[in-house]
Structure 1
Amino acid sequence: MIVPPAVDTAIVLTLAAVTTLATIATVGLGFLSRPGRPTLLWSIGFAVAMTGTFAVAAGHLNGDEILRRAGLGILMGAPALLWSGFRAHWGLRPCAWFGPIVTAASVILLTLPPLQPYFPELYRCVFFLAALFAGLFVVDWARVGSRTRDPLTAPLAAASIAFVAVGIGVAASWISDAPGMRDLELARVTSSIGMLVYVSCATAAVVAISTRHARAARRDAAVGDWDAFRELAGVHSREAIRRGEPLSAIYLQLDDLDDIRRAEGPGLVLRLTRLFVDEVREVFPTSALIDSPSPGSAVALVSLGDSAVRSRLRTLLERISTLDTGGRLPIHPSASAGWAPSSIVGYEVDALLYMAREAAVVASQDGGDRWERVGVTVTDRILSRSAQP
């Protein structure tokens, strides 16, 4: 099969444009806003894909076959790096070394002079290897559960399945006796389209996640420690007084965290506490001031009416009970919440935070998985507990 050069060029240039935009968006919205292993691996993955695509385009336009093949080899490492980034994002072991290994091995196999006569077979092999990491993404995506994964990763999962099918088809085409199936040019164009669709869906998923994290980073940018949080809380309190708005402090803590740590180890606790704080940030409005004073706890200072606070607390406790722990906990996670409104405690920040924390303790003592609003009953229990020797 002869593919028109214009079609081949259009596919390569489209892929170059997509990977360039993906790299800029991931670095700008993800890594620079919230540096971490997931955003670092995603940024590197898209940068590798961009570098490989531009090398392919340059080799294609200049007639440099070795450069084009080197670019193809570089491009094959991108799915492994993107897969590692998602594993890190989900709290799994990232296995980040696979990306560099696949990239280096692919470049060597496709450009080493003694191996040039076997390029059609080697190309099919390295493309199939790249597609395997898309398959591994689907496996991990299914494992982590709907509460952990972002909904916009669903199209990427579908594209990954299609990418694996293309990889199998490209690899199987070499052993097929059907006319035209062993045509390398057809296999290369098919694999390029498959890679384009996969990278496009990966871009949408990563940008969506990075944008959400960037919003959280901007919201909490000034909160670097507990003292800074209290200073900002004072500013919020004075603003609420000036505007005549209600102000509430919400203190939340995961139940039985020490028991979970002893039974399952610190790794699961770290993942659970990260998911817990993410849920707090998702439920409360962007105007809320949120911090985590200690592992497994979170504080939110919000200017909302009583009915809105009640609704959000109910929603939050329900969402916490469905956090995905990978099936390692025999029970559902839960949290206890304390709610201190300014209508009862006043606008003094330390008093709000103290009463909210004490109300959370009362909720925990009553069995957990509930919230308590500061009132006469809660205040009496706090005072009676304080009076005990």
Structure 2
Amino acid sequence: MNDLAGLAGVNLGIAQAAITTLATMLTIGVGFLSKPSAATLYWSFAFALAMVATFGVVAGGLNDAEVLRRASLGLLLGTPALLWSGFRALWGLRAHLWAGPVLAVTSAAVLMAVGDLAAFTVAYRTAFFASSVFAGLFFLDWVRVPARRQDKVVLPLAIVSAAFFVLALGTLIAGFVFPPSGGDDFVLLRTVSSIGMVVYVGCALVAIMGVATRDTPFTRAPAATSDWQRFENTAIDRLLRAQRTSEAWSVVYLQLDDAADIRQTAGSATFGALSASLEEAARLAFPAETDVGSPAPGATVLLVPRTDAIVRDCLRDVLERVPQLDVDGRLPIRPTASAGWAPASILGYDLDALVYTAREAAGVAAQKGGDRWERVSAALVEGLLNRTERL
């Protein structure tokens, strides 16, 4: 029976080693390198710690190196705290990065220090519960903000985190109600915790990959590119016809302020809905003859066949509409937008030049605090030309 239990433990250890290695490779290679941030860095630390600790547990079990096995078991328990720190950084909260390393080192030291198996079992139950507290804190941070609850990619991890905490609390209480009587108690506890850790790491990997690869080349929708190409073709044709008569045309580049923060904290679904609402608000504020396209989530480009006075009034109107898009208060940040205005009378009728300079003007407006518009000026164009020459 003990041989079967030992074999099962080794198999579970190998499974843990495999999934933590995969998680480390994906988080660093796909997550951190494609979207470097404090969150992806902390997640990379978490999975790297889990990978090293898991290999240490397997190596200690196969070679009867009890000190290595106990130390590795303790280090492994610091993983949930590091994952929690990563999500707090993602949501713009204080990360408390120290919690993971402190828990890992303390758990390893305590597990190595205890003597007999009964005391070790109690110590492991306690350390396992301490580790689950951070899974519980993650669940609380997730559930208390409605925008986070709408992020479906994180939902499995939230459920498993709550179950992790309940399971650890149950094993801790059971350990005091029914004191350990032999090695079988720890084998059962270790088996249950190993299975739970495999499920927990798997759900964490799914959530982190979903969050880390948003709006990157890995997940960019081909449909959005096709819509933008159709807008470009239509706009180029209209500008060519307008150039023959020197009509008054303008390109307006409208972009959400703090778009990255809103996307990170509210989730891709909510941010996508906000981007669609921004485009709809622009259609309502500008004349019906205006062509509207979206080159990226959170940005809208408008080709406006009107005089400067009308464009100016439309800009004021659309900027007043943007804060009203969050009618139910779900967003953690009050939405505002910045707009860049590029008149064809100044820059000519080349669409690429108009869109580029309008986008740069919107960036200038955002740097000035956002919730405003900026008209392309000779000074801005000269600055862009000088920057191009330096490159």
**Is the shorter-chain TM-score for this pair beyond 0.5, marking a shared fold?**
yes
Residue 77 of structure 2: aligned partner: 76
Partner of 1:215, secondary structure, is coil
Output the CA distance in 2 between the equivalents of 1:88 and 1:349: 37
Kindly state the Cα deviation for residue 142 of structure 1 after the two structures are TM-superposed: 1.0
TM-score by length of 1: 0.65
TM-score by length of 2: 0.64
Kindly state the Cα deviation for residue 89 of structure 1 after the two structures are TM-superposed: 0.6
Partner of 1:250, secondary structure, is strand
Q: Which amino acid aligns with 2:158?
A: A
Q: Which amino acid aligns with 2:80?
A: P
Residue 321 of structure 1: aligned partner: 326
Partner of 1:94, secondary structure, is coil
Kindly state the Cα deviation for residue 192 of structure 1 after the two structures are TM-superposed: 1.4
Contact preservation (8 Å) 1:110, 1:116: no
**Match 1:211 to one of 208, 213, 219:** 213
* 1:108-147 equivalences in 2 (<5 Å): 108-112=109-113, 118-146=119-147
**Match 2:196 to one of 194, 204, 209:** 194
Output the CA distance in 2 between the equivalents of 1:301 and 1:178: 68
- Structure 1 gap segments, 5+ residues each: 220-235, 258-268, 292-297, 304-312, 360-367, 372-389
Partner of 2:217, secondary structure, is helix
Contact preservation (8 Å) 1:251, 1:357: no
Contact preservation (8 Å) 2:142, 2:148: no
**Aligned sequence identity (%):** 36
> Residues 167 and 275 from structure 1, CA distance in 2 versus in 1: closer, same or farther, beyond 3 angstroms?
closer
| 1:40 equivalent in alignment to 2:41 | yes
Contact preservation (8 Å) 2:157, 2:207: yes
Contact preservation (8 Å) 1:251, 1:338: yes
Output the CA distance in 2 between the equivalents of 1:58 and 1:157: 31
Q: Deviations over 1:64-96 (max 9, x none)?
A: 111111110110000000000000011111111
| 1:9 equivalent in alignment to 2:10 | yes
Output the CA distance in 1 between the equivalents of 2:98 and 2:203: 23
Q: Deviations over 1:310-333 (max 9, x none)?
A: xxx9xx96995267455xx8xx54
Residue 60 of structure 1: aligned partner: 61
> Residues 351 and 35 from structure 1, CA distance in 2 versus in 1: closer, same or farther, beyond 3 angstroms?
closer
Per mean C-alpha deviation after superposition, the further-off stretch among 273-282 and 181-190 is: 273-282
Output the CA distance in 1 between the equivalents of 2:160 and 2:32: 24
Q: Which amino acid aligns with 2:41?
A: L
Contact preservation (8 Å) 2:322, 2:335: no
- Structure 2 gap segments, 5+ residues each: 222-227, 240-250, 280-292, 304-317, 363-370, 374-391
Partner of 1:134, secondary structure, is helix
Output the CA distance in 1 between the equivalents of 2:324 and 2:217: 20
Q: Which amino acid aligns with 2:326?
A: S
Contact preservation (8 Å) 2:339, 2:361: no
Contact preservation (8 Å) 2:148, 2:267: no
Output the CA distance in 2 between the equivalents of 1:53 and 1:203: 16
Residue 95 of structure 1: aligned partner: 96
Output the CA distance in 2 between the equivalents of 1:274 and 1:207: 13
Q: Deviations over 1:32-77 (max 9, x none)?
A: 1121100000000000011111100111111211111111011000
CA RMSD of aligned residues (A): 4.9
> Residues 339 and 148 from structure 1, CA distance in 2 versus in 1: closer, same or farther, beyond 3 angstroms?
farther
Residue 50 of structure 1: aligned partner: 51
> Residues 99 and 50 from structure 1, CA distance in 2 versus in 1: closer, same or farther, beyond 3 angstroms?
same
> Residues 356 and 79 from structure 1, CA distance in 2 versus in 1: closer, same or farther, beyond 3 angstroms?
closer
Partner of 1:252, secondary structure, is strand
Partner of 2:254, secondary structure, is strand
Kindly state the Cα deviation for residue 117 of structure 1 after the two structures are TM-superposed: 6.9
Q: Which amino acid aligns with 1:215?
A: P
Contact preservation (8 Å) 1:16, 1:50: yes
Per mean C-alpha deviation after superposition, the further-off stretch among 240-249 and 131-140 is: 240-249
Partner of 1:41, secondary structure, is helix
> Residues 281 and 36 from structure 1, CA distance in 2 versus in 1: closer, same or farther, beyond 3 angstroms?
farther
Matched residues, number: 313
Contact preservation (8 Å) 2:17, 2:55: yes
Q: Deviations over 1:172-210 (max 9, x none)?
A: 121123998992221111111111111111011111112
Output the CA distance in 1 between the equivalents of 2:135 and 2:66: 27
